[in-house]
Structure 1
Amino acid sequence: MFYNTNPNQQDIYVKAFSPATLCVAISKVNLTVTPLPLVNNVTIVQCDEDSDGFSAFNLTIKNNEISPTISAKITYYTSLIGAEISDPEKLIPDPIAFTNTTAGSMKVWARVENTNSCIKIAQLDLLVSTTQIPPSFTRILSACDDLTAINDDKDGVATFDFSSINVDISSILPPATTPYSIQYFKNEADALSENNAIQNPSKYRNEGYPNEQIIWVRVESTADNTCYGISPLLKLVVNPKPVIEDDPEGTKIVCSNLPAFYITLESGLPSGIESTNYTYTWTKNNSFLSGQTNSTLDVNTEGDYTVVVTSLAGCSTTKKIKVSASDIATITKIDIVDLSAINTVTVNTIGQGAYEFSLDKPNGPFQLSNYFNNVSSGIHEVYINDKNGCGTVSKTISVIGVPKYFTPNDDGFNDFWNIEGINATFNGNSTIYIFDRYGKLLKQLIPTSQGWDGTIAGQPLSSDDYWYTLQLEDGREVKGHFSLKR
């Protein structure tokens, strides 16, 4: 066996001699010595939260202490020989979550291999320490389900601030010989392996853990990673906001003309929900309505109403209700075109309501248009109905018309000729003059009478055309002719 006499690298020479030929050959061999990895034995102390002597260790947590060698490959084994020969039966496949197999303490070994394939073994002493956070030390934080741009208020997620609990934890721990850190984790596995610590406990959102989540705390030495305590001490509870249903009809309507008519505004709690489990605050046009604390509100005036529904847990939902006023119509003018081939009526109205119109039919059908075409002559009743239910107004109108003929044969039909659409109320002081074809005045009568029966001095006149002059009380004068048929 040859030991190099020069450190790290040395050249040696090999001489070969052949007795048969007496030939000699000399060859140079370069010897290079590569360094072993630098390794250190370490101790890892893990907390035991249930005092059974077993816990999960993250063996990689002290890799930098085990070997400062850059790019070293470190694998872990449950026996020294297994580490030396790289026995797959002794290999620890998941070093981030390794649970000791003997209570209280255990040794495992790290096989450190550098880039030159040189190997050295380090020993890891695993110690299980009972947590110093008592089981009775717990905290519960509650928050209401919130609403953000990427979150709705029904997903069981809210924002919590539990950074102040650090003070409470520090107060129950014994004085430490070295400073310690307090970290929070989403679950036990992360707390034991010291992975995925919650970075901002003052603005934590329980995403992925809706409605309720247990937060684990880990207290350890900042000097040597010794665990002082691990515990599921914090419970986060997200309370739901009250579920409020919108009104299917949208805007509510009150009637300005009916001050005794009230409508009921609903808070919107779904059917079957006990209303006494909530409190109610009502406002109108941003002003608080004193004494209104029920789940419903009776109103008779328009406005922007809101109700804040608050659960026993203090979570609130606001419902907005718009109440608009309607009213019966005010008729400003009715335009009538009569004494024509096609009579028309246009009803002009003002008011807050949504109106529909009918002619001579108080119960409809109604039309949305205020214009009536081809209206028969006579006395009519115009009806204007508020579609919102605030009432119907009506007005009597006169559409004047002249019959083109009459048949005075005592059969009960068209036995008299008279102007239509005139009565004591409408143009009652009008006068009708009837002439024959030669201009001779045959009859003078008033439209409120029964009319002309086609006789003169009791004698029936023959079938023919006759002329009339109508002088209306409203100042109009109309002339024309009609036929007498027998």
Structure 2
Amino acid sequence: MYSTLASAQYITIDNSKTPTQLVQDLFTAGSCVTPTNVTVSGWDFGGGEKSYAWFNSNSSGFPLANGLLISTGKASSAVGPNTTLLSEGPANWPGDSDLEQAIGENNTVNATVVEFDFVATTNYVSFNYIFSSEQYLSNPNPNQCNYSDGFSFLLRRNNSVINQNLGVIPGTNIPVKVTTVRGSGTNCPSANTDYFDAFNGSNHPTNFNGQTKLMIAEADIVPGESYHVKLVIADQGNNLYDSGIFIGGNSFNNDFAMGDDRLIADGNPLCPGETLTVSPDYTVPGTLSYTWLKNDIPIPGYVNVNSPVYTITSAGIYTIVANLGTCTIRGYINIEYGPSPNDAVLIQCDDNSDGITIYNLNNVSQTITGGDSQMNIVGYFRNLSDAQNDQNAIANPQSYQNNQGNTVVAKVENNQFGCINYASISLQVASNTINSILPVRACDTVAPQDGLFPFDLNAISLQIQNNNTLPAGNSIQYFTDSQDAVTQNNQLSTPFTNTTANEQTIYARIATGPDCYAILPVTLIVISFPDLQDQAVGICDGESAILDAGSGYASYSWDTNPVQNTQTIAVTQAGNYTVTVTTAEGCTGTKTFIVAVSEMATILNIEVNSFSGTNNSVTVHVSGNGNYEFSLDNVNYQDSNVFTNVLPGEYQVFVRDKNGCDNPPPQTVYVLDYPRFFTPNGDGYNDTWKIKNLEINYPNAELLIFDRYGKLLKQFFPSDEGWNGTFNSYTLPSDDYWFTLSLNNGRIIKGHFALKR
């Protein structure tokens, strides 16, 4: 870290003050303490230049306005800019043994010493100082890291020989010197960096390479006792690289100890709403009255009062002034409060205008905490009493319904300082009027024509914003349900493809920060052409057909030559005819008619597969340019020319053109099969075993019947009456019998049947 200043102002040095004046000016005006036995020793460089002098900040930005400078070189050389390396003390200028003992160093030289006595009025003494040194090099050699100029503020009771060094790191006994307070970033190890100010660049109020921050030396003392003070600084090891102590003017205070400041930086501020009762921990005999000030302004009701006690309720620097008649004694305490949570207003939309809606209380967490990561909301409650007693916490703050009141309380904990505080949340219902937008229409350009389309929600948001005067910083989210828009569940992302074909309403939630400004329904319309499916059309040879694109379109365009612009056209030729239709919104779609010319079918052959049981079939072979269907009864038609599972019998085969063109005459076919049993009992049913219609297709076929042993029982032909179940006029018993059928085409069919009596 390097310190530079924008201006070229530097401190000034006054060599005119006497040693007594130098010390007296360290004490606050009106102080009840007067320094005595003042001595100052150092080095006289001639011409009025000494190693000590009075300094003034001269509006340079130096932290101390004025005070006493004691140095290991010429005091006037401390004036900035920092452009020369000061090593001005002669080698025969001695050091100081008390200093060496206090800071744990030896071989000191170039010591400047200020000493005086005072009689303590109170039980506390303090003063401000800054330690500066040329040994704070930004680029030191490693062997320079162990040299440590130092100083000490030695305090002892005059009847004692024990010195107490007040120039220490706060809260420790570590003396302040170059090696114990140093910033990081150099070859030398850093130490107690919180108390180091900066390595200085050239444009600095002083001519030193670096310095500590403003520090306070303080001690508890015994009122009425006489004390001796010795302020001493010296070089260590050699007379090179001078150092200096700047002691604040009017900062030597024998005043009241008021306890520790309560500061955020120190991690001990008061919690919001907390009070602190303060008073000096010592009462000076003869005190006439007390006056309290806040930020140097007298506090009404606490001017010239008898009691030194005051209760602090707000942040500020508090001063107590004790009037002893001839002088005054002061005490100071600086009070800061930890950050307070902010009350919040949460505005939510109401989807049915009944004043009851659902709030996500977490939406105002940033408002309540102010973005402070150390603040944590530990619960929401319906009232302050519940929050303070940590009872009846709201179980679902993300979906809180205001049917029990429009105010809730957030309990907030500051994790850094352990503070608990409360913030009020006012629940309000949005009542903003907002202009709707026209339905958002889109042409369905993506196959299939299903009425679905990916909508750009950002473009819709722009329409809403252009159609309304909305608050700055607004945001718009979308939902398929108005209740979801209230609770912010299931937010849609862009692009959004409608889930209800052709027309769907979604809901735009317009928000400003955590608040819902309005909910606006938005209608999405997809213009699609579900009826524009390609269509096959047949026409009979020599006739015409009407092609109809459908009604309701703004315009039509057929790809004929010339182009036709009517809903329907008449065609007589086979081919593909495409029409382009346009809606009133400018959406276009196309449909193609595949026109084919039909001619009457010619039955080439009918193939009958008989004697196959359940696998009997009829196959009709035709020729011709047409779209045909087939039937065996002129009632039930099928597209296939193959009939399966056909029962034995006589059938009429019909071939029909689907376009209604001429049809060939039907043809008769017979499907043959043998009976699986017969019952020759004279009742007139199944009395003989015979294959029906066999004589029609196979008049020369021959049938042979055998018993199970292969004995020939009967030989007959299709024209015969069949077999009656006898052999040589004897009645044969119930049993299975076998047959052999020899057809005209050389096919031989064998099987068996049952005779039942």
From the CA coordinates, give the structure whose radius of gyration is larger: 2
Structure 1 length as normaliser, TM-score?
Answer: 0.44
Structure 2 length as normaliser, TM-score?
Answer: 0.30
